Structure 1
């Protein structure tokens, strides 16, 4: 089997023509969120699955209608475990990471899962397994007795439709991320098996710039590719500064061509959880930004330096953000389009609903949520073409179109 598209992956900007993207259609995991579990599962509300799935289908249709190949996480994961030995290995690893302590439960789960075909197995593990589904199981250990009143044997994974975070495509490789929370860290196992065993990727020798077994956390919503030399990464509620250094060391020692990382130190709070919730690139010289980060924002430049023991040097930048972007992206001017124009009420509301979280499908052409109408109008006034998708239920998960998409292939910018 030869590698599809020669390299398998290619993303060297945020705005190059999008050719292939990975999505996850919301599934039964959404209906396994309860009010008592919302905080643990990182949700502030419970989306209505039927409407959320319909909205997600509209998102996928917009992409397809604009020439984008849409792949689905759940489908690729099922295809990656077609070999029985690989499937057994996957199940063992998944159950270990799900922290199934009782031997009796683990044995019963394996029996239960063996009855499912590959697609049903993946869908079930994503959805979570309710305690009552193991009808024939009898508690035989202390570990199981302590948890006997908990409604799930395996927790649901409702954040999966935000495919941006568990891994990120950087050049021809990926960061296979270590997520901040236990709730989300299991999500990265699907990407691990897809890139190791799926026929489309397994022969591509895809480099891994950061791996999921690292102790420090790095999440895809904090990773932005500004051009084929420069990345922006958020030091955020979900991404550690030390993880960025480890990633920089690996990337700069490769032949990918990237030589600069702009590390944005953003406020560590829920509303600003990732850099892409407050800052995205939408054209060569245009960016969306939430005005709430401009005042407290500190930017550090990490530049490749073969003479430094670390392989790079770090400088705290003193200029304003637009000047920093002009300098490192070699631009004459930069336009920062503030979420809802900076109005204290409208911008707070629309940023909460990801008004600054746009997915560029080509330079100056983006996908946005319908509910952020003030910001959308501003984008249009700045010459940006907007594809507006319904968002009443998808937005309840606290993520926008960029969060819901992982580009695998983009055209290089000319």
Structure 2
């Protein structure tokens, strides 16, 4: 699932700062970026739904003015055979959650398991990495709370996951979600900012919990960590796995730095122009939400 950017320009730096964006954004350029993103995903054989086109007229009129609506990753997440809806950690984003959830309930009535208003706390799925069929990695920070995690963790366990690792990263615009700090780049490799090695992970199972440092936790689940000392947060970390052999990255990403790792040297890298969209504080992964995963 994708969503086109709103029809509004963010005309000047002051306005951008007030809505927590880094620079002014022109709708026309943002749409060009979006169409390139959509086209590349479709060319990979993936069915794309732009949910903004599925909304009824009154809801669509509001949606067209919601400037963050294209960050669909946060809205919900597929765990096994169920879809768990998110809950916005920022009031400016609440309307898009309600609108998107109303559509997902229509599309997947048997597997959409919560009503958005049925749990407290906040849960934005940019803070969630599904590591494998056994483990989920979650950040509680600016946009996701421990109360939000508590409300969904039993459903995650029931889908066959045995561990949920919770990390609490610094609260800043550069660490807004987990996927601005680390990302799965291969079946056995995670790319992460080097500071994360100093943070403990609270590992929950159905029967108890324990603490573990980040690297041993990820190693135990089959991942080597490629620690980045220097990085440009959004383009270098926030990429998308199109398939096991292909990474979709921003043209602003340091591709050679990524390819320096032996496990990524044979990867196919597709570079696209998303710089206008990236001014809003998120990247390619933030802008895309898998609705159906292969097992």
Distance 2:154 2:108 in 1: 25
Contact 1:376 1:386 in 2 (8 A): no
In our comparison, the structure showing a higher alpha carbon Rg is 1
Contact 2:127 2:140 in 1 (8 A): yes
- Map 1:257-336 onto structure 2 (within 5 A): 257-295=160-198, 297-305=199-207, 313-317=208-212, 319=213, 321-327=214-220, 329=221, 331=222, 334-336=223-225
Contact 1:266 1:298 in 2 (8 A): no
Distance 2:113 2:37 in 1: 30
**Deviation of the 1:261 alpha carbon:** 0.6
**Deviation of the 1:401 alpha carbon:** 1.0
What's the C-alpha RMSD, in Å, of the aligned pairs? 2.2
Distance 1:65 1:48 in 2: 26
Match of residue 260 from structure 2: 378
Give CA-to-partner distance per residue, 1:296-316, whole Å, 9 cap, x none: x221111122xxxxxxx2211
Q: Does 1:230 align with 2:132?
A: no
TM-aligned CA distance change 1:185 to 1:69, over 3 Å = same
Q: Among residues 284, 287, 295, which one is paired with 1:401 in the alignment? A: 284
Contact 1:379 1:386 in 2 (8 A): no
TM-aligned CA distance change 1:33 to 1:407, over 3 Å = farther
Match of residue 271 from structure 2: 388
SS state of the match for residue 28, structure 1? Answer: coil
Distance 1:386 1:214 in 2: 39
SS state of the match for residue 73, structure 2? Answer: coil
Contact 1:282 1:364 in 2 (8 A): no
Could you tell me which runs of 5 or more consecutive residues in structure 1 were left unpaired when the two chains were aligned.
1-21, 79-117, 129-156, 306-312
TM-aligned CA distance change 1:62 to 1:379, over 3 Å = farther
Contact 1:172 1:206 in 2 (8 A): no
**Deviation of the 1:164 alpha carbon:** 0.5
SS state of the match for residue 45, structure 1? Answer: coil
- Between stretches 362-371 and 167-176, larger displacement belongs to 167-176
SS state of the match for residue 136, structure 2? Answer: strand
Match of residue 218 from structure 1: 123
- Map 1:13-412 onto structure 2 (within 5 A): 22-29=1-8, 31=9, 35-78=13-56, 118=57, 121-128=58-65, 157-196=66-105, 198=106, 200-202=107-109, 204-208=110-114, 211-252=116-157, 254=158, 256-295=159-198, 297-305=199-207, 313-317=208-212, 319=213, 321-327=214-220, 329=221, 331=222, 334-339=223-228, 342-343=229-230, 347=231, 350-351=232-233, 353-374=234-255, 375-378=257-260, 382-412=265-295
Match of residue 137 from structure 1: none
SS state of the match for residue 294, structure 1? Answer: helix
Distance 2:265 2:168 in 1: 27
Contact 2:101 2:116 in 1 (8 A): no
Distance 2:140 2:238 in 1: 17
Distance 2:17 2:93 in 1: 13
Distance 2:76 2:292 in 1: 14
Higher relative contact order (CA 8 A, sep 6+): 1
Q: How many pairs are equivalent?
A: 293
Distance 1:298 1:225 in 2: 18
SS state of the match for residue 397, structure 1? Answer: coil
Could you tell me which runs of 5 or more consecutive residues in structure 2 were left unpaired when the two chains were aligned.
none
**Deviation of the 1:34 alpha carbon:** 5.7
**Deviation of the 1:65 alpha carbon:** 1.1
Give CA-to-partner distance per residue, 1:364-402, whole Å, 9 cap, x none: 421111111254443685433211111221110111111
